[in-house]
Amino acid sequence: MLRVGLHLGWGVATAAVFYPLLDRPKRLELKRRWSAQLLLMLGLGCRVAGAFPSGPRLVVANHVSWLDIFVLNSISPAAFVCKADVRDWPVIGWLCEKTETVFLPRGSRSAARDTAVQIAQRLTEGWLVAAFPEGTTSEGQGVLPFHSALLQGALDAQKPVQPVGLRYLGSDGKSTGAAAYCGETSLLQSLWRIAQAPAIVVDVQILPPITDAVHRRELSSRSREQIVAALAGGEAISAASAEAFNESLGELVAAQ
């Protein structure tokens, strides 16, 4: 836990002093390295099925944990869309605010439209943008309904939507709630529970992009259907495949 605390402190210092001075490629690489280090410190194993094609796109994923952001950033760094509440998370909220995050105010259709405009702008500028259309975290036992408003940004920018399925598994290969961040759980409680878990492997399913939808509700339903199907039919996670990805994270960190 001490190492994680020091790592978060280093992230704050870097975001405050060095991050604003870097160009986009260096910012993205720094994001990726920092996220990879965090996952390794927490002892998370990862298995990634599929790969992100090159070019800007809107990544949409189911939302289980605050870890989701760093899991995706360790694979392909993105500008994230997060609910405004994330700003209030200790340390992590501040880091998000300093690293291209688009914050979505709650309960306002006009705010959702404004956020979709910001998403379209980021996509047009060449960013990979990531969002969680459920609008909240869950225990990871299913996928909540998707809100479609944010997906309008991909249509306006004429960029693909890339569905991604996330699930957290225990040492027995079955779904675990150890990484879930929902209900009344505080960030510190969640961090402690993750650190105490015997083993957590996150299964990341990068699914085929959607390029031919004509309406945001179609985008929403099709991307959710892909994620639900992938999580229901996903293969069991092998220790070898998780270790292989962790080795790549270790190589990334060692090259720093």
| 15-40 residue pLDDT tens | 777 788 889 899 899 899 989 998 99
Q: In this predicted model, what pLDDT tens digit does every residue of 89-107 receive, in sequence order?
A: 777 787 788 888 888 877 6
Ranges of beta strands (E only) in 105-225 are 129-131, 161-169, 200-206
pLDDT classification of 238: cutoffs 50, 70, 90: very low
Burial classification of residue 88, based on how many CB atoms lie within 10 Å of its CB (0-12 exposed, 13-18 middle, 19 or more buried): exposed
Distance CA 183, CA 108 (A): 22
Task: Look up the CATH number of domain 2-254.
Answer: 3.40.1130
Of residues 183 and 239, more confidently modeled: 183
pTM greater than 0.75: yes
Residue 234 pLDDT exceeds 70: no
CA angle (182 as vertex; 118, 89 as ends), nearest 5:
55
Higher pLDDT, 249 or 69: 69
Better pLDDT: 196 or 205: 205
Q: What does DSSP say about strands 129-131 and 58-61: parallel, antiparallel, or unpaired?
A: parallel
Mean per-residue pLDDT for 200-227? 95
Give me the pLDDT at residue 186, please.
86
Strand-pair category, 102-104 with 161-169: unpaired
Bigger pLDDT: 156 or 172? 156
Question: How long is the chain?
Answer: 256
The DSSP string of 21-52 is: GS-HHHHHHHHHHHHHHHHHHTTEEEEEES-P
What is the token pair recorded at 254? Answer: 């060692």
